[in-house]
Amino acid sequence: MRTVFGVEWEQLTLKHVREFLAGAPDEGLTWEAKGEEPRAGGNRLRPESVQRAVCGLSNQVGGWVILGARRQGEDWELPGITAPATETGLWIDQVLMRLRPVPRCAHRNWSLRDGGVVAVIQVQPLARTPCMTASGGVFERVRGQTLPVTDPVRLHELITRGQRARERAEAFAKRAAETGSVGPYANTRVRLSIGLAATSYEPDIGSRLFHSRFRAALEKRVETRLFRELHWTPVGDPSSIIQQDHIQWAHEAEQLYWVVRPSWDGSVGVQAALKPEVDAVFSLFNFAVWPTWKLAADLVVLLGSYGPAHLSFLLTVRNQSMQAPYGRTIAPFGHETLFAALRTETRIEPETAIAQPTDEEIASVQRELLRAAGKWVFERVPDPPAAPAVELSPTPPPWLRAT
């Protein structure tokens, strides 16, 4: 990503920061300088100041926060700030983690000879606005300053933008779960699809999707998540296609077919179609849900996603007899099985984060699927305390006694 410093982010050095400030005018819409502030115990940079600056940029078009710069008359200087901790990068991460939602940020820092440090935080614009500080404040970067959002109309605009981002992620995730070439698994009885989409993305998703590096990364992640981690061996060679709005990769394993479809809108769909010979005894969550979810999260990150996300879990079941290889007929699912109790389509749509699924997230989806099959399964939350029993006196009060 090109920066205001004239170089790509990966090439940014302290020299570039100094050169930028040497000729910089007043702070602009996309960058802000933060220096030390007088406070008890000496001059220090307050975490709240960093949070407000990052919050303001994320609610606008993104940008950069320079820690350790200050204005001296008409010129900028770079004295640095007192090192806030042993690891400056860790301190910045801890400060930013108190924002809600946490915007996509990267940072670099350099040590000065006098023991101070200089840091630059790169802030991506947030689609799911508003970003809010730990104290509940909403800030926005305007020309030359970061101001609290106090106008109800502007606050409503930010909330509406965030709502639209959530709705867009939900629509994209649903479409990713529902879309895919039928291909070799047209006659399977059980098919799991997971669609995942984030609320925020870095600019120009297509430049990442349709790059040779993405295909190489896709093949590596597929090999890791869908075969090596499951201790499976691929059957035959994979097939792949490229279209204007997506690429698709398909491969066969001994027990199922995989189809992976990342799209230009940033969503990723991963499908697992169980072969009829094994579907009645297949461990759905261990060998289908876990790997599809993990792979989808991997690929959405590669497409530049950040922030909260929406997941669409779609399980399609056709409870009928099937013709298996070698002329054998496979009977419908028995009444004691999960698949026999489910409707033709079962959809579960939790909000999640762009990260590997946690044990609790997987367990939550499993509980919801069991309830869809009519099983009495409850959430893992403590029951509310029972109301204390009311003990009745053996002798009625005087006002109840018969006269």
Q: In the predicted model, is pLDDT for residue 367 greater than 80?
A: yes
> Which of residues 86, 115, 150 is at a domain's end?
150
Q: Which CATH number goes with the domain that contains 67?
A: 3.30.950.30
> Residues of the chain with pLDDT > 90: what percent?
52
Are 171 and 125 part of one and the same domain?
no
Are 87 and 120 part of one and the same domain?
yes
Distances (CA, A) of 260 to 245, 284, 300, 347: 14, 18, 12, 19
Is 2 contained in some domain?
Answer: no
Q: In the predicted model, is pLDDT for residue 228 greater than 80?
A: yes
Enumerate residues 6+ apart whose C-beta is below 8 A from 221. Answer: 295, 298, 299, 302
> Residues of the chain with pLDDT > 70: what percent?
90
Domain assignment of residue 260, given as a range: 163-372
- How confident is the model over 133-161, as a mean pLDDT? 90
Which of 263, 265, 235, 264 lies closest to 250 in space, CA to CA? Answer: 235
Are 247 and 348 part of one and the same domain?
yes
- How confident is the model over 262-290, as a mean pLDDT? 91
Is 245 contained in some domain?
Answer: yes
Are 131 and 215 part of one and the same domain?
no
Q: What is the pLDDT of residue 400?
A: 47
Look over the chain and give the mean of its residue pLDDT values, rounded to a whole number.
87
- Residues 91, 83: Cα–Cα separation, whole Å: 10
Number of domains making up the chain:
2
Reported confidence tier of residue 183, pLDDT bands at 50, 70, 90: low
pLDDT digits over 70-109, tens only? 888 888 999 999 888 778 999 999 999 999 988 889 999 9
Between 201-205, 275-279, 374-378, 379-383, the lowest mean confidence (pLDDT) is in 379-383
Three-state SS for 93? helix
Is 173 contained in some domain?
Answer: yes
> Which of residues 101, 122, 150 is at a domain's end?
150
Is 320 contained in some domain?
Answer: yes
pLDDT digits over 299-342, tens only? 999 998 887 889 999 999 988 888 776 677 888 888 878 888 99
In degrees and rounded to multiples of 5, residue 162 shows phi and psi of -65, -40
For 196, half-sphere exposure in the C-beta direction (CA atoms, 13 angstrom radius) is: 30
Is 25 contained in some domain?
Answer: yes
Q: In the predicted model, is pLDDT for residue 44 greater than 60?
A: yes
Are 237 and 109 part of one and the same domain?
no
Which of 208, 210, 239 lies closest to 222 in space, CA to CA? Answer: 239
Is 342 contained in some domain?
Answer: yes
Is 268 contained in some domain?
Answer: yes
- How confident is the model over 5-27, as a mean pLDDT? 90
